[in-house]
């Protein structure tokens, strides 16, 4: 293979991989993890801005397992979406997330610390990660996630494919047994 073919092949591979990255999206379970990270970040910003480090530390202790799982899941989303640049993109997202939440605190001014109190109470009372994630929408937690949710058709495709495969297996087994 000549140098011209190597360059063309590399260009095609880069084009295909960037297309795959551009089509990356967040599945429902991953959205839950993204929302958990957003709530955690909001509480961290509030802990610093409002002197509520004890509340934040209690939240982290209570939900340590869920927070760790959310971190791993969101990090994996960025690796899937950005390949070798995944960690850098994830770090940038976490920075942008904290900045957006800090800007919201600045926008709210003196009301921010008062208004974040119920979020702390709800987060501490949340029984699991799903309940923490639900607080993101309920309390309108800023979240500048650069990767969109997967379309419903893509989310439904995987279970439908598993169903077709499962239905095909008995038929294939019957055909094999008849031979």
Q: What is the mean pLDDT of residues 165-169?
A: 42
Instruction: Give the count of beta carbons closer than 10 Å to the beta carbon of residue 143.
Output: 19
The residue among 143, 152, 141 whose CA lies nearest residue 25 is 152
The residue among 163, 109, 130, 149 whose CA lies nearest residue 36 is 130
Check: CB of residue 45 under 8 Å from CB of residue 141: no
Q: Which pLDDT value is given to residue 154?
A: 56
Check: CB of residue 32 under 8 Å from CB of residue 96: no
Q: Which pLDDT value is given to residue 65?
A: 97
% the chain with pLDDT above 70 = 72
| 47, pLDDT greater than 70 | yes
Reported in sequence order, the residue ranges of 31-179 that DSSP labels E, i.e. its strands, are none
Give this prediction's pTM. Answer: 0.74
Total count of residues recorded for the chain: 179
Q: Which pLDDT value is given to residue 12?
A: 37
């Amino acid at each position: 293979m000549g140098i011209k073919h190597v360059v063309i092949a590399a260009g095609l591979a880069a084009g295909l991989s960037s297309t795959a990255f551009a089509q990356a999206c967040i599945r429902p379970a991953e959205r839950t993890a993204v929302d958990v990270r957003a709530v955690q970040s909001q509480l961290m910003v509030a802990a610093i801005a409002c002197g509520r480090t004890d509340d934040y530390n209690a939240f982290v202790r209570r939900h340590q397992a869920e927070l760790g799982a959310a971190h791993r899941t969101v990090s994996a989303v960025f690796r899937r979406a950005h390949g070798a640049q995944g960690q850098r993109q994830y770090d940038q997202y976490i920075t942008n997330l904290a900045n957006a939440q800090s800007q919201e605190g600045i926008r709210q001014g003196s009301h921010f610390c008062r208004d974040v109190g119920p979020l702390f109470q709800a987060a501490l009372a949340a029984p699991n990660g799903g309940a923490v994630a639900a607080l993101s929408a309920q309390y309108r937690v800023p979240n500048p996630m650069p990767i969109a949710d997967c379309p419903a058709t893509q989310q439904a495709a995987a279970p439908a494919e598993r169903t077709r495969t499962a239905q095909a297996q008995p038929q294939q087994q019957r055909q094999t047994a008849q031979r």
